[in-house]
Amino acid sequence: MEFPPDRINGTEQLSVQRRVGLVYDERMCKHSTPEAERHPENPDRIRAIWYKLLSAGIHHRCMVFDAKVVEDKYIAAVHTSNHIDLIKTISSKKTASQRNRVAARYNSIYFNEGSSESAYLAAGSVLEVAEKVAKGELNSAFAIVRPPGHHAEENEPMGFCLYNNVAIAARFLLNQKDLGINKILIVDWDVHHGNGTQKMFWKDPRVLFFSVHRHEYGSFYPTGDDGSHVMIGEGPGAGYNINVPWENGRCGDADYIAVWDHILIPVAKDFNPDIIIISAGFDAAIGDPLGGCRVTPHGYSIMLKKLMKFSRGKIIMALEGGYNLNSLANSVVACVEMLLEDKPVAESLEVYPFESTWRVIKAVREKLSTFWPTLADKLPEELTSRVTSQHQIYSSQSEDEYEDGPNTLPEDLENDVTIPLSKLNLSEDAGSDQVTATSQAWRSQLAKIDVWYASFGSNMSEPRFLCYIQGGQAEGMKRPCRGAVDKTKPKEVMWKTVPHRLFFGRESTATWGPGGVAFLNPESNYQEKTFICLYKITLEQFNDVLLQENVRIDTSSPFFDLNALDSIEYEKTISLEALKDGWYHNVVYLGKENDIPILTMTCTRTAVEGFKSGKIPICAPPKEYADTLVRGLVQGKQLSEDEAVSYIQEAATKPL
């Protein structure tokens, strides 16, 4: 559609000028933490973007809209009535303490008196500009909204997200038949997997959902297997869900553009969408404190330019994450300038992707080649052999735009950004001292109590277990462990057998890569016999092992305290709610030795049922993992090497 000439800033613009919409509304800043605590998802995020656009004069070249409240009937197309009632009433019908208690039920969520209005405005803004783009009133649009949305599931807010803004807009476009939108491409380039959006279109072939994100075998937020490349959709939607799961952080322009060129763009050509919606999170941007990746504004503009070749450039961008304010604002400006098509961009790069990036690309192409024949051809070795070392730092023409340069991440975040969103403590004031003091208090108390930690998996090998105590990396492991605060070796080591079933499940893990890992059925069965290696350690050390097994960093309080220790002898198992996103949050009591309790950690009974039903995959262990178990059993003088191999093979193949 061609528009009449516009008069902007006193000069007449040619009809080729694209009409780009912007939504910004200060009312969405009312959503903030209850006591104004520091938090990465805060009102300054959208203010920083808006001020940057104003200072660059870009708003003059766009059509600017205030936010609009969404109607419940449109929300109901993707969320349950209970979910709608929660978000609609949380601000007006609850006191601050009541809101806090409600928020505590969910993963990484806060509420205040402005949360309801902000959530309705965010969802309504994305829907409104999506409709305008679909009708041709706009060529494209950027909705500068918060709270974000892509983690919000049908009946659960999570990960800073209250309503799934993009999903609401996409369902609206599909349901309004007069708009003529029959196929939608949703591109989620937020560093975290868009679990909520994926589930809402899991069986819908009208929506091609594409997400590129840090996954690290399920250890990166939102954790679990939803973000795996094997999650491709179901029924008529099979093949229409594409996940590109990074194995590591530090991915930058070259990695993302390789994914665009060798997965997304070929599939988009065949899918031929009527419109594109981008879940535009910028926490993969260089310098982001949560993302740990290195995408530059230049990189984002290239990614967007490649997508503008489809659907006649009809693109809606909806803000998701992004927590480095400078990087966030610069990246959005680069994207809006690209939507306006008034700034050429060079697509050539002087760096190559990581080796792990090519490995992921090949796996995704192979998994989806049945559905998308364009992915069936093998990538030439000449291409995939061009790699960048993990330690090489990306350079960019736009790095000098940052106050915080690309190398200013704290070292611990640089190496392993797996901080759970609900556990963030970004305060630099006295509050952090208080947390440290609290941590020291519980540690001092629990350091006086001994327990037996019972290992049935790779920790049966003492060098492997000592990685959890002293830090480091044992043979076969793909990444190091942080270690415990108290690095004292176990006071004693001994072996036993227990009447529980050993089995192997999950398809991959961050520590061992593709393949299953060991689980112990928490239900006893006297027809079964499993070897366990007992390490006599303190209850403080046990808590640190718990944290590492469940990929957590927060140590401000113990997860398994003296009260839990007192009650587990009678309860037999305690599922730790605070660690529920981990696979080993179920502490199981296995009796006593020398009057000291024997504890292990494994999955829950519910998870066992999931393994039995096939909902969670049973999977044989990788060679490196199995070899570690064999070494533990042999060095512990429990079995010969042949006997240990047979023991593991039986556990891996015997039906649950």
C-beta separation of 635 from 462 below 8 A: yes
In a domain, 407, yes or no: no
In a domain, 220, yes or no: yes
Report the C-alpha gap between 379 and 556 in whole angstroms.
48
Same domain? 253 vs 343: yes
Same domain? 348 vs 452: no
Same domain? 452 vs 335: no
Q: Find the CATH number of the domain harbouring 602.
A: 3.10.490.10
- In the residue annotation, 585 being an active-site residue is answered as no
Beta bridge partners of 12: 7
User: Domain total for the chain?
Assistant: 2
Q: Find the CATH number of the domain harbouring 122.
A: 3.40.800.20
Q: How many residues are there in the chain? A: 656
Same domain? 119 vs 263: yes
Same domain? 97 vs 214: yes
In a domain, 404, yes or no: no
Q: What is the pLDDT of residue 7?
A: 31
Same domain? 74 vs 212: yes
Same domain? 462 vs 578: yes
In a domain, 241, yes or no: yes
Look-up of token digits 């020291």: 440
Other beta carbons less than 10 A from residue 439's beta carbon: 16
Same domain? 359 vs 481: no
Out of 366, 385, 404, a domain closes at: 385
Out of 337, 359, 385, a domain closes at: 385
User: pTM of the predicted model, to two decimals?
Assistant: 0.66
In a domain, 510, yes or no: yes
Residue 252: HSE in the Cβ half-sphere, 13 Å Cα cutoff: 26
Beta bridge partners of 518: 504
- pLDDT band at 503, cuts 50/70/90? very high
Instruction: Say yes or no to pLDDT of 411 above 90.
Output: no
Q: What is the pLDDT of residue 373?
A: 97
Q: Which residue has the higher pLDDT, 521 or 35?
A: 521
Same domain? 367 vs 242: yes
Out of 385, 401, 420, a domain closes at: 385
Q: 198-216 burial, b if ≥16 CB within 10 A, otherwise e?
A: bbbbbebebbbbbbbbbbb
Q: Which residue has the higher pLDDT, 642 or 346?
A: 642
pLDDT tens-digit profile of 569-626? 888 999 998 788 789 999 999 999 999 999 999 999 999 999 999 889 999 999 999 9
Same domain? 321 vs 454: no
Mean pLDDT computed over 164-179: 98
In a domain, 507, yes or no: yes
Same domain? 526 vs 611: yes
Q: What is the pLDDT of residue 552?
A: 61
Q: How distant, in Å, are the alpha carbons of 2, 141, 153, 256, 398 from that of 338?
A: 19, 11, 31, 17, 15
Mean pLDDT computed over 5-11: 33
Same domain? 463 vs 374: no
In a domain, 437, yes or no: no
In a domain, 530, yes or no: yes
Look-up of token digits 């230049």: 298
Query: Which residue among 31, 150, 151, 229 is the active-site one?
Result: 151
Percent of the chain with pLDDT strictly greater than 70: 88
Instruction: Say yes or no to pLDDT of 414 above 50.
Output: no
Q: How distant, in Å, are the alpha carbons of 125, 306, 521 from that of 273?
A: 22, 14, 46
Domain that holds residue 193: 20-385
The least confident of 147-156, 212-221, 416-425 is 416-425
pLDDT tens-digit profile of 249-295? 999 999 999 999 999 999 999 999 999 999 999 999 999 999 999 99
